[in-house]
Amino acid sequence: MNLENIEAFVYVNHFGSFNKAAEVLYLSQPSVTARIQTLERELDCKLFDRLGKQVVLTEQGKQFLPYAQKILQTFQKGKLQLQQRTAVPNELRIGSTASVSNYVIPELLPVIKARFPELTFKLTTAPTEDLTAKLLNREIDIAFVRKSAHPAFQSFLFHEDPIKLYVYADHPFARSGRASLRDIIGQPLVFFECGALDWLRLHRVFEGLDQPPDIVYHADNAETAKKLVLRKAGICFLPGLTVRQEVADGRLKPVEIEETAGIALQTNLIALSGEHEEIIRLLRSVDLKEALAS
């Protein structure tokens, strides 16, 4: 049985598309199709059904999937063991989204450096999609991204950052620290849009209003959005890490909104399966709240 055929099967299932799997594997679509057909002949069963443009597993495909994933993982671990890639490198190449790069990385790097004094660092800031591609191409070693799933990655929840409404210190909402969603309607709103799925929950909450909020400023950068609030241009929903210092200084105030309670921005730590395990263990042991408070 050809390992490349099993790899194609796992990737087609993950992406639900022969074309997308071919793109990630740097193959043509007919090549991926041929690999799946060869595997089906070897297993003497059909692995996928087409439902319109969507590709789904057959019952036999569902039964075979965990074994295929295990085969790939076992092969990769064996390969890594032979090549001794689990050792700590001299240079650690870290990718992260903008918010992690701005507010988390400066606190984390001294912790890693204290544990591995000889280690140097190369930092890359990019959107989640770009970072996952760089990780697959081995251009970076680990990445801090929004929620991402891929058969080649090991992924761990690293941090959940609550998203709350923040207002300037002398805003009327600041006195009580509470407001209803309906209270926001008449307020000029700065809307920070980072592109993560978590923000869609805010959109859905707003859809329940009789009239839309008065969004005066759309911003794709947290620092810009935050500074507009500090200049009293409006109020804004922001992740807590982005305003940590301003809240501590009393320049910004969090406001509890019942309808948006529980919405948080999730950051995952990802790496290729079986690689950089010692670094990952260290990062997973870090108490981020304690590190940020120190």
- Structural domains in the chain plus CATH codes: 3-83 (1.10.10.10), 85-294 (3.40.190.290)
Of 6, 25, 88, 144, the C-alpha closest to 275 is: 88
Residue 170 has pLDDT above 60, yes or no: yes
Question: Residue 104: enclosing H or E segment and its boundaries?
Answer: none
> If you average pLDDT over residues 17-36, what whole number do you get?
88
Calculate ∠ Cα 166-189-240, nearest 5°.
25
Q: How many CB atoms lie within 10 A of CB 54?
A: 9
Cα separation, 194 vs 187, whole angstroms: 21
**SS3 category, 181:** helix
Cα separation, 254 vs 168, whole angstroms: 9
Residue 197 has pLDDT above 70, yes or no: no
Per the structure block, which two tokens stand in for 172? 């009327």
Cα separation, 150 vs 141, whole angstroms: 15
What is residue 86's predicted lDDT score, i.e. its pLDDT? 45
Per the structure block, which two tokens stand in for 246? 């301003």
What is residue 176's predicted lDDT score, i.e. its pLDDT? 92
pLDDT band at 38 (very low <50, low <70, confident <90, very high): very high
Q: Contact 159/286 with Cβ under 8 angstroms?
A: no
Residue 104 has pLDDT above 70, yes or no: yes
Q: How much of the chain exceeds pLDDT 90, in percent?
A: 44
pLDDT in tens, 208-238: 777 878 889 988 888 999 999 999 999 999 9
> If you average pLDDT over residues 115-134, what whole number do you get?
90
108-112, 246-250, 267-271, range with the lowest pLDDT: 108-112
What is residue 65's predicted lDDT score, i.e. its pLDDT? 93
> If you average pLDDT over residues 2-28, what whole number do you get?
88
What is residue 83's predicted lDDT score, i.e. its pLDDT? 53
Q: How much of the chain exceeds pLDDT 70, in percent?
A: 91
What is residue 182's predicted lDDT score, i.e. its pLDDT? 86
What is residue 194's predicted lDDT score, i.e. its pLDDT? 62
Q: Please state, in angstroms and as integers, the Cα–Cα distance from residue 71 to each residue in 45, 74, 76, 82, 165, following that order.
A: 19, 5, 9, 17, 47
Nearest 10 degrees: Cα torsion 190, 191, 193, 199:
140
Q: What is the pTM of this model?
A: 0.66
Residue 32 has pLDDT above 50, yes or no: yes
Nearest 5°: phi and psi at 187? -100, 140
pLDDT band at 36 (very low <50, low <70, confident <90, very high): very high
Per the structure block, which two tokens stand in for 124? 């890359």
What is residue 195's predicted lDDT score, i.e. its pLDDT? 56
Cα separation, 139 vs 259, whole angstroms: 41
**SS3 category, 110:** helix
- Averaged pLDDT of the chain: 86
**SS3 category, 22:** helix
Question: Residue 260: enclosing H or E segment and its boundaries?
Answer: none
pLDDT in tens, 136-161: 889 999 999 987 777 888 899 998 88
Cα separation, 194 vs 262, whole angstroms: 18
